Amino acid sequence: MPLAVEGFAHVRLTVTDIARSREFYDSVFGWDVAFEVPEGADEQTREQLGFLFGGVIYKFGGGLFGLRPVAPGSDEFSEDRVGLDHVSFAVASVDALTAAAATLDSLGVAHEEIKDLGEMAILEFRDPDGVALELTAPTS
């Protein structure tokens, strides 16, 4: 019998530079932080939050999204290797995609044009490590 799951709990990406990635995700998405090691944390707190590896986990409407800074600085993302192809986030409408494109423009984040795929439209862009990100909206 197949496993019965109800959705995603979290996604965590491995990144090369946590400061650069934090700046990107904070400015693009502005999510609240669920878990991070507080500045000046004592050793017990650091041990408790060791699963973060010095990264951060954000919370948003769809669950949790984390950044784990353990990749070497020379590493590069490739959707053509085994593992992650891209991460897609749902938005409410094509108007929200248009607004998102304007936000990305204002932040200097390169992106593709909005693509109408029939029942849905997508807006594609990449994070600082080249991880493929996408916003998806229903067209009807």
Domains of the chain, residue spans: 1-73, 84-140
Q: Is 84-140 a domain of CATH 3.10.180.10?
A: yes
Q: Is 56 helix (H, G, I), strand (E, B) or coil?
A: strand
131 sits in the region (left: phi over 0; alpha: psi -120 to 50; else beta) called beta
pLDDT of res. 6: 84
Which residues are within 8 A (CB) of 75 and not within 5 positions of it... i.e. 6 or more apart? 16, 129
pLDDT of res. 117: 97
* Amino acid letter, residue 108: G
Q: Provide CATH code, domain 1-73.
A: 3.10.180.10
Q: Per residue of the chain (140 residues), what is the pLDDT tens digit?
A: 999 888 889 999 999 999 999 999 999 999 999 999 999 999 999 999 999 999 999 999 889 999 999 999 899 889 898 889 999 999 999 999 999 999 999 999 999 999 999 999 999 999 999 999 999 999 98
CA distances from 8 to 11, 12, 35, 99, 100 (A): 8, 11, 18, 26, 23
As given in the structure block, the two tokens for residue 132 are: 């493929």
Q: CA quadruple 80, 94, 59, 109: dihedral positive or negative?
A: positive
Q: Do 84-140 and 1-73 fall under one CATH topology?
A: yes
CA angle 71/15/49 to nearest 5° reads: 90
